[in-house]
Amino acid sequence: MRNSSDPRIPVVFGGSAGPTDAVLAEAGLPAPPGAHVFAAAAHAAGCPCCAPRSGVAAALGQLYRDRATSQVPFFSRVVVTATAAGQLALRHTLATDVLCQARYRIEG
C-alpha cells in the first residue's frame, strides 16, 4: 500500500514496467530500450564525505535528473531488474546514501 504522504519515488524489484514506470537495470542483464543501467559495485571504503558515490547511487541520481529535466518521460515508480547482488547494492545505497534516501524509497 502506498503512503500518499511520502513524496519519494517508489522502487520495486522485478515485475513488469507500466507506462508510467522507469526501468533501472543492472549492467549485463536484459533491459528494455531506454532503461537506465547501473553497475553493482562492492561497498567503497572511506567516510561518506571522501568515498565516491557508488554506481547505483550515480544511476539513481542520473535517473532523477533526467526526470526533473524532462530527458525521460515523467515516471511515478522505478522497476529494478537486478541479480541478488545488484538488489543488495541498491538496498544498501537506499539505506546509506542521503540523496537517494531523499528521492527514493523501497516499496513492498
Q: Which residue has the cell 542520473?
A: 62
Residue 78 belongs to domain spanning: 22-40+49-106
For the stretch 40-71, pLDDT in tens is 654 445 555 555 678 888 889 999 999 999 99
Whether 36 is covered by a domain: the verdict is yes
DSSP 66: H
Whether 56 is covered by a domain: the verdict is yes
Whether 55 is covered by a domain: the verdict is yes
pLDDT at 101: 94
Whether 66 is covered by a domain: the verdict is yes
Whether 2 is covered by a domain: the verdict is no
What is the distance between the alpha carbons of residues 30 and 67, in angstroms, rounded to a whole number?
22
Mean pLDDT score, 11-17: 89
Whether 74 is covered by a domain: the verdict is yes
pTM here?
Answer: 0.80
Q: Is the dihedral of CA 57, 22, 103, 11 positive or negative?
A: negative
When the pLDDT of each residue in the chain is averaged and rounded to a whole number, the result is 83
Whether 11 is covered by a domain: the verdict is no
Whether 70 is covered by a domain: the verdict is yes
**Structural domains counted in the chain:** 1
Contact between 92 and 43 under an 8 Å Cβ cutoff? The reply is: yes
What is the distance between the alpha carbons of residues 90 and 80, in angstroms, rounded to a whole number?
9
> What cell numbers appear for 107 in the block?
516499496
